[in-house]
Chains A and B, each alone.
Chain A
Amino acid sequence: MLRRTLSIAAWLVVLFGFLVLAPRASLQQRTGEPAFAKGGAGEIAGEYEVPDPNWPQWAHPYPKPGYIWGSQGGVFAESADRIYLANRGELKLPDKVPNNFPGNWGFFNQMAATQPIANMVNCIVVVDRNGKLIEAWNQWDKLFDWGRGPHQVYISPYDPQRFVWVVDDMRHVIYRFTHDGKQLVQTLGMLDEFGENDDLTRFRRPTMIDWLPDGTFFVADGYGNTRVVKFDKTGKALLKWGTRGTGPGQFNTPHGIAVGGSPPRVFVSDRGNRRIQVFDTDGKFIEEWPGIAPHSLLMSADEHVWAVDSLTDRIVKFDLSGHVEYSFGQFGTRPGYTWAMHQISADSEGNLYLAEVFGGRTQKYHPKPGADPTKLVWGRSLMPMAAGRTN
């Protein structure tokens, strides 16, 4: 009996160490201070209410009967009333679905939503604050055949035209659409052809974009290459930096990028090397913040870098010097938990949106009444739409 009790106790100790201490250990930040100290490992949804699992409304015909939306690569909140969702195709549901099935692939708990082969339909949709469908850009679904769907989606905060940018990593291109999705106005890279690190005409599985106020933009490239490419506002490649490796200015899967500060700096999630690297806008290395491997970064309106960590499924707030100010979140498939947050976005009302590639859902987090505003993610305000452009 005593032996059995000791055995159970030992397992509980191991389990505690795995669930609580391990994530903390991997979130050591540059000062040696554990990131969780500013938030607490128990804070699942932080200053936000537990998300409504029925947001967005999974109303037919999106997806069609017998199917479910698959991996959610990206989400971008243009406003609280216009949210773009980047869906990496639809997956066929099992023949028998439990009554308590909440509507996301992660519920099945066995296979990430990226692994089954998806039908590339309903890849870009726009919903309102209630999660109700506003637009479905089905005219562009064909672009995502032969790939795995849109990687992420954005609008530059400095663009009065509000062009919509979509990164397609597996087809090695970045698309720029008109705001209403009716026209594809630019394709960066060469469709289906990858190039090496020194090739400024081709990407090799690009991952993310961010902008300077003058329209200059930076692309993290990516899964295949190990560099950042700087473009002028017309899409002309100006320069690139980075090689494969672990030293300063070297990368292993640069997967996220954010630009901000004064003077402006470029923050790059060097995911495979488990760090964020900081550069000036010409690629000169400034410093690194070790101990975190974000899928994505976000420069907030109050000039902080928010990182969604692939190691711990935590959302971490850094000041621009790399100090952790706050963190929350935990792995899981229930509402409020996350499984591989792939893009983070926020609107100016303080609502937070997280797209999960493995969980297969996008969750909207609404602030709790009386929430501490310093613990909320604030999206950058977008430049007002140019005259004559609506919707």
Chain B
Amino acid sequence: MMIGRGTLLLIALAVGASAAWAQAKPDFSGTWRLSGTTPPNYPGSAGWGVPSPTISIKQTPAEVTVQSGQYGSNPMTVVYKLDGSDNIWEAPSVTQSGTTATVRWRTKARWDGTRLILFTWNTALNQMRDVMSFGNGTLTIARGTEQPGPSTNATLTYSKAQ
């Protein structure tokens, strides 16, 4: 049985659309509230990587903006570009000696399927990697941090604030 050219095109479109649907990028926008308590293994200096009780995310096709207290002793608004390029700026951070200094910050983001990986570094030797995924109304963040001190790993779950 011969299949017409039009039918083949229709099938190809259907398969393509299906694949695109499967890989649709989730929108993490919203205000999220931490479920449970802060994991106990957070020895980092001055709050680096310590989960905020709430986190506010604004997502556009070009960037993700995160407002949170997880970047140190004071809440910060941090932008991650979604085209894979670096975002670099200067802002205060607590250094390893415990003093606050203006240092360089850098962020980067990458999609891994439907997971969004956010990288944060600063020249006070703080590093954070958040792997964000979304399902059943829950935001899950697999977080790893590095500093000259101990490393941390934690899985954090957030639910949408009403």
Residue B7 is within 8 A (CB to CB) of chain A in the complex: no
A140-166: CB near B (< 8 Å → 1, else 0) gives 000001111000000000000000000
List the B side residues contacting A193 at CB < 8 Å. 119, 129
Query: A314 within 8 Å of B by Cβ?
Result: no
CB <8 Å contact, A204 and B151: yes
CA distance A224 to B44 in the complex (A): 13
Q: Is B95 part of the binding interface, using a Cβ–Cβ cutoff of 8 Å?
A: yes
Q: Which of chain B's residues has its CB closest to A225's CB?
A: B151
Contact A117 B101 (CB under 8 A): yes
B123 touches A117 (CB 8 A): yes
Given the known inter-chain contacts A115-B97, A117-B95, A193-B119, please indicate yes or no for A170 contacting B144, CB distance below 8 A: no
CB-CB < 8 A to B153: which residues of A? Answer: 196
Q: From A111, A115, A196, A204, give the contact of B146 (CB < 8 A).
A: A204
Q: How far is the CB of A293 from chain B (nearest CB, A)?
A: 15
Q: Is the CB of A111 within 8 A of B97?
A: yes
Q: Determine the main DSSP class of A at the interface with B.
A: loop
The interface residues of chain B lying within 8 Å CB-to-CB of A196 are 144, 153
Given contacts A170-B125, A193-B119, contact A205 B96 (CB under 8 A): no
Q: Which residues on A sit within 8 Å (CB–CB) of B129?
A: 193-194
Question: Is A277 located at the chain interface by the 8 A CB criterion?
Answer: no
The number of chain B residues with a CB under 8 A from chain A is 20
| Alpha-carbon separation in the docked complex, A148 to B148 (Å) | 9
With an 8 A cutoff between CB atoms, is A192 at the interface?
yes
Check: A235 CB closer than 8 A to any chain B CB: no
Residue of B nearest to A272 (CB): B150
Q: Which of B96, B106, B108, B127 contacts A114 (CB 8 A)?
A: B96
Tell me the bound Cα distance from A173 to B33 in angstroms. 36
- Tell whether B124 is near chain A: CB-to-CB under 8 Å: yes
A170–B104 CA distance with the chains assembled, in angstroms = 16
Chain B residues near A117: list those with CB within 8 A.
Answer: 95, 101, 103, 123-124
Residues of A contacting B80 with CB < 8 Å? Answer: none
Judge whether B158 is part of the interface by a CB distance below 8 angstroms. Answer: no
How far is it, in angstroms, between the C-alpha of A111 and the C-alpha of B108 when the chains are bound?
32
Nearest Cβ on chain A to B117's Cβ, whole angstroms: 9
Interface string of A196-208 (1 = CB under 8 A from B): 1000000011000
Once the chains are docked, how many angstroms separate the CA of A204 from the CA of B150? 11
Would B125 and A223 count as touching, CB distance under 8 A? Answer: no
Residues of B within 8 A of A170 (CB): 125, 127, 146, 148
Name the CB-closest residue of A to B97.
Answer: A115
Q: Kindly list chain A residues whose C-beta atoms are within 8 Å of the C-beta of B123.
A: 117, 145-146
B116 to chain A, nearest CB (A): 15
The verdict on B32 contacting chain A, using a C-beta distance below 8 Å, is: no
Contact of B106 among A146, A148, A224 (CB under 8 A): A146
Chain A to chain B: the 5 pairs with minimum beta-carbon distance, closest first: A224-B151, A115-B97, A115-B96, A146-B121, A148-B125
Residues in chain B within 8 A of chain A (CB atoms): 95-97, 101, 103-104, 106, 108, 119, 121, 123-125, 127, 129, 144, 146, 148, 151, 153
Residues on A lying within 8 angstroms of B by beta carbon are: 111, 114-117, 145-148, 170, 192-194, 196, 204-205, 223-224
Sample of 5 more A-B contacts, CB < 8 Å, known A115-B95, A117-B123, A192-B119: A116-B95, A117-B103, A148-B125, A205-B146, A223-B151
Please, could you name 19 A-B residue pairs with CB atoms under 8 Å apart, sorted by A? A111-B97, A115-B95, A117-B95, A146-B104, A146-B106, A146-B121, A146-B123, A147-B125, A148-B148, A170-B146, A192-B121, A192-B127, A193-B129, A194-B127, A204-B151, A223-B146, A223-B148, A224-B146, A224-B151
